[in-house]
Amino acid sequence: MEADVGFRNRQRYKEQWEELDDSTFPEPSCQLSANEFSCHCCYEILVNPTTLNCGHSFCRHCLALWWDASRKTECPECREKWEGFPKVNIVLRDAVEKLFPDDVTRRQEETRNNIKISNSVLAFQKYGNEQSRPFNNSGHWRRGGGFFSGVLTSLTCVAVVFLVYLWSRETEQDLLVHKPVTKWTAKEVTLWLEQLGQWATVYKDRFLEEEVNGRLLLTLGEEEFSKPPFNIERELHRKAILMELDNVKALGVKPPQNLWEYKAMHVGKSLFLLYALKSSPRLTMLYLYLFDYSELFLPLIHTISPEKIEMTEDADIFRKHWSDDISLKQWAEFLVKYTLIPYQLIAEFAWDWLDMHYWTSRFIIVNAMLLSVLEGFAFWRLWSRGGLRTIPQKMWSHFWKVSSQGILVAILWPIIPQFVCDCLFYWALYFNPIINIDLVVKEVRRLETEMP
């Protein structure tokens, strides 16, 4: 009985279902707008859509143009860094090509005929190939490279610490720039005399025989030097010794005459000049002109733009007593190099000190050459991308960046330990050129990828 009732109910429901018209259940709308598949860079239909880690998708060539212009591995919309190298979203690409075939074909032809887009896509793909190369062979090469890079960094740090420990003990503890002249021994007086120049070494034995110490040296004048036992007959030599002696009396110690003595006497300024000349040579030389004219700017301009005079004994003896008069020719030569090749000025200044700082001067010269190459690459990128108009804005932002960093360092300087300052000094002086060599190699490779 119950089975018959169930059968009759099912039969009745079936008849009612067949009587329903198709209009009773309207079809759902399946039309999709092209805006839902548009790129947020060009706001047109996606072509070879590339999805980043953040979830945003862009045209492949739009992402390549963004990377080529900014060299930033981040999303153009939300600025989140992407990991690895972005790949084309195959599912999304197939869906867009099926839904909007005409628009995709039109945009593909437009991008294919655009040389700038083609070069950017090629450079972007080469960059991706370089990024994926270390991951070959299950990543063993990357792990090995990281290991050796870590070892090299550790050895470099150990070398810097060793240099600081060794040189701070052997060179700075006995420097006369730290010792008052009244406490100089006779041997230290002759050391001061030797450093005046080769011409002064002939008088060394006379000072030793008379056991001239620091106190006695301060009492000597031109009359004593011209008579026995010193017998300095050359008036020019007496004048030079008296000029140096006046500087000693004014300072109370020996004035710095080389790089190491200057560093020992002006720790903060030497570290500041070392990093400032490397990162911003033009602003640093302007600072020297405004705030350190006599002590540093005059020696710089007279060294890199010397007057064409006959090298007599007078010029050799007094060449470190720079004149305040700078000729128009010197200014013209200086300003041209200052504007176009500022690192050349540093190299020329270091070249003048080769006889006193053999290896150190060579490190400075090599580093100046590398920094000139890096600056040239930077201007080439701006010129090739039509960014020369942004140079004033970049210079202004660079000025504020350097100024803020200088103010911050000036505030923190009193609490920085001397050992840390020495480590930073020797790192920038001897190991920074190695880093710049790697940067130059990377710039050359990047330039190769940008070539059409």
Tell me how far CA of residue 285 lies from CA of 85, 96, 176, 252, 278, in angstroms: 42, 58, 29, 29, 11
Whether 12 maps to a domain, the answer reads: no
Q: Which one of 57-71, 173-187, 437-451 scores highest in mean pLDDT? A: 57-71
Residues 106 and 144 grouped into a single domain: no
Whole-structure pTM value:
0.63
Residues 326 and 400 grouped into a single domain: yes
The tens digit of pLDDT for each residue in 386-442 reads 777 778 888 888 888 888 888 888 888 888 888 788 888 888 888 888 888 888 888
Report which secondary-structure segment, H or E, holds 3. helix 2-19
Residues 314 and 388 grouped into a single domain: yes
What pLDDT, on the 0 to 100 scale, is given for residue 11?
A: 60
Residues 281 and 247 grouped into a single domain: no
Write out the residue range of the structural domain in which residue 238 sits. 181-251
Residues 233 and 276 grouped into a single domain: no
Residues 383 and 418 grouped into a single domain: yes
For the record, the structure tokens of 67 come out as 């990377």
CATH code at position 236: 1.10.150.50
Residues 242 and 282 grouped into a single domain: no
How far is residue 311's CA from residue 64's CA, in Å, rounded to a whole number? Answer: 60
Residues 120 and 226 grouped into a single domain: no
Yes or no: say if 321 and 272 are a contact pair by the CB < 8 Å rule: no
Whether 116 maps to a domain, the answer reads: yes
What pLDDT, on the 0 to 100 scale, is given for residue 343?
A: 94
Report which secondary-structure segment, H or E, holds 50. strand 50-51
DSSP 359-379: HHHHHHHHHHHHHHHHHHHHH
What pLDDT, on the 0 to 100 scale, is given for residue 345?
A: 92
- Residue 254 pLDDT exceeds 50: yes
What pLDDT, on the 0 to 100 scale, is given for residue 118?
A: 84
pLDDT confidence of 322, banded at 50, 70, 90?
low
Residues 324 and 222 grouped into a single domain: no
Q: Which pairs from 294-300 meet CB under 8 Å and 24+ separation?
A: 294/324, 298/322, 298/323, 298/324, 298/326, 300/345, 300/349
- List residues bridging with 51 in a β-sheet: 57
Q: Which residues contact 262 (CB under 8 A, 6 or more apart)?
A: 256, 270
What pLDDT, on the 0 to 100 scale, is given for residue 435?
A: 83
Report which secondary-structure segment, H or E, holds 8. helix 2-19
Dihedral sign of CA atoms 7, 10, 12, 14 in order: negative
Residues 207 and 238 grouped into a single domain: yes
CATH code at position 108: 3.30.40.10
What pLDDT, on the 0 to 100 scale, is given for residue 366?
A: 93
How far is residue 243's CA from residue 250's CA, in Å, rounded to a whole number? Answer: 11
Whether 439 maps to a domain, the answer reads: yes
Whether 109 maps to a domain, the answer reads: yes
Residues 300 and 324 grouped into a single domain: yes
Average pLDDT estimate for 130-157? 52
Could you tell me which residue, 177 or 26, shows the higher pLDDT?
177
Residues 319 and 220 grouped into a single domain: no
What pLDDT, on the 0 to 100 scale, is given for residue 314?
A: 55
Domain count, the chain: 4
DSSP 148-198: HHHHHHHHHHHHHHHHHHHHHHHTSTT-TTSS-GGG--HHHHHHHHHTT-G
What pLDDT, on the 0 to 100 scale, is given for residue 410?
A: 82
Q: Which residue has the tokens 């006599």?
A: 294
Yes or no: say if 360 and 259 are a contact pair by the CB < 8 Å rule: yes
